[in-house]
């Protein structure tokens, strides 16, 4: 959708089975930075509640949710999980009376790219676990900004 050329904070989430990485832009939507990694909480949805709180506090306009596809662009077992998570987040934002758009974004290679950049920065693989989800969310957000600013 083309509304992304409006200024305002954008968030991106990298959804995993046990963790959710979060990244955000500045209010002009120019620079993506890591925010935090949340523990995935399917039973109580505390991660969703925290995302709603952060979206409200930062006055976010859009939340991009990474959509994991195979290299060929086909759906994977994780694809439906991401779609379900995006739908749950969209419902929670609506219940909180926040008019924030949730948009799925192709995240192919975001984790691989994040791992490569961390390796280049001298961060060893065993020390990447705590921040890899945030770094992947930054990659998703950067990709979304490039795609939607170029097309919007």
The predicted-structure confidence for 80-126, as pLDDT tens digits, reads as follows 999 999 999 999 999 999 999 999 998 865 555 555 655 666 666 55
- The pLDDT assigned to 103 comes to 96
Q: CB atoms < 10 A from the CB of 82, how many? A: 23
Asked if residue 80 lies in contact with residue 67, where contact means CB atoms within 8 angstroms, the answer is no
- The pLDDT assigned to 148 comes to 78
Of residues 51, 142, 68, 81, the one with CA closest to residue 107: 68
Whether 52 has a pLDDT exceeding 70, the answer reads yes
3-class DSSP assignment, residue 64:
strand
Asked if residue 86 lies in contact with residue 123, where contact means CB atoms within 8 angstroms, the answer is no
Of residues 92, 93, 96, the one with CA closest to residue 44: 92
Whether 2 has a pLDDT exceeding 80, the answer reads no
The tokens of 59 are what? 């006055």
């Amino acid at each position: 959708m083309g509304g992304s050329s409006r200024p305002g904070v954008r968030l991106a989430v990298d959804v995993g089975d046990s963790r959710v990485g979060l990244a955000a832009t500045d209010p002009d939507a120019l620079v993506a930075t890591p925010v935090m990694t949340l523990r995935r909480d399917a039973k109580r949805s505390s991660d969703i509640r925290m995302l709603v709180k952060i979206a409200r506090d930062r006055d976010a306009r859009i939340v991009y949710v990474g959509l994991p596809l195979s290299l060929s662009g086909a759906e994977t077992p994780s694809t439906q999980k991401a779609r379900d998570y995006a739908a749950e987040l969209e419902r929670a934002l609506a219940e909180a009376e926040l008019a924030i758009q949730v948009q799925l974004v192709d995240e192919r290679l975001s984790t691989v790219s994040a791992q490569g950049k961390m390796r280049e920065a001298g961060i060893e693989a065993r020390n990447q676990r705590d921040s890899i989800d945030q770094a992947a969310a930054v990659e998703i957000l950067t990709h979304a900004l490039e795609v939607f600013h170029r097309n919007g």
